[in-house]
Amino acid sequence: MVWFRSLRKVIPLDYSLAICFLACHVAREAVLPTDIVKWSLEGKIPFFAAHVEIEKRFEQPSLACPISSSLMFRPSQPVPFQKLEAMAASIAELIGLSLPPVNFYAVASSFLNQLSVPGEKILPHACHIYEWSMPPDLWLSTNELRLPTRVCVMSILIMRCLIQVKKWSSMNALFRD
C-alpha cells in the first residue's frame, strides 16, 4: 500500500486528462476543460473506465504488485475544471513547453454556435475587442484561483452582444420617432 500511495502521488491519474487538454490547447482546438471533464464523465475519454481495459490486458495482479488495477487506476471523482486548466499549465511549465494563448476565434465560435447566436455580426467585432485588449487571462495559468480562460472569452462575447443590442435598440428608437 505504501508503494501504491507513493505511485499515485508521483503520477496522479488526473494528469492524463490535463495532458489531453494540453494537447488540444497546443493544437489550437476549441476544446475547453469543461469539455474534457464532460467527455470523461460520459465515457468518451476512458478516464473512469480505463481500469477495465487494463484488467483485460494484464488479467491478474502480479506478485510484485498485488494491488488490483481498479484500485490503482480508477479515479474516485471528476477533476474540477479550474484544476484541470492549472494542471495543464503546470505540466507545460515543468517540461518547458511554450504555450500559445487560447484560440479566441475557435472558442468564441463554439460558444456562439452553442448559444445559437448568429456569429457573423458578433464574432468579427469580438475579435477586434480581443486584439485590442489582448487580455492576459487568455493564457493558461498555474493559478487555480484565477478566472478560467473560458470566462474571459465569454465576457468579451457578452460585451459585444450588449453593444449590438444597444445599437439595435437605438436604431429602433430612431425609426419609431
- pLDDT confidence of 157, banded at 50, 70, 90? very high
Whole-number average pLDDT of the chain? 80
Q: What are the tens digits of pLDDT across the range 104-137? A: 999 999 999 998 888 888 899 999 988 888 777 7
| 93 and 109 both lie in a single domain | no
φ/ψ bin of 159: left (φ > 0), alpha (ψ from -120 to 50), beta (otherwise): alpha
Structurally, the chain folds into a number of domains equal to 2
Do both 87 and 159 map to the same domain?
no
Same domain, 110 and 86: no
176 shares its domain with 118: yes
Residues 129 and 164 in one domain: yes
- Whether 88 and 122 map to the same domain: the answer is no
- What is the predicted pLDDT for the residue at 23? 95
What whole-number distance in Å separates Cα of residue 23 and Cα of residue 20? 5
pTM, rounded to two decimals:
0.75
Higher-confidence position of 162 and 67: 162
Share of the chain above pLDDT 90, in %: 36
Averaged pLDDT, 92-109: 93
* pLDDT reading at 25 higher than 90: yes
50-75 average pLDDT score = 62
Instruction: Looking at the structure, tell me whether residues 92 and 118 fall in a common domain.
Output: no
- Give CA–CA dist 17/47, Å, rounded: 8
- One domain, residues 120 and 39: no
Classify residue 150 as exposed, middle or buried by CB count within 10 Å of its CB (0-12, 13-18, 19+). buried
Cβ-Cβ contacts under 8 Å for 151 (sequence gap 6 or more)? 137
111 with 66, same domain: the answer is no
Q: 39 and 59: one domain?
A: yes
Residue ending a domain, choose from 98, 114, 147:
98
Residues 41 and 127 in one domain: no
Q: Could you tell me if 136 and 85 lie in one domain?
A: no
Asked if pLDDT for residue 31 goes beyond 90, the answer is yes
Could you tell me the residue range of the domain that residue 167 belongs to?
101-177
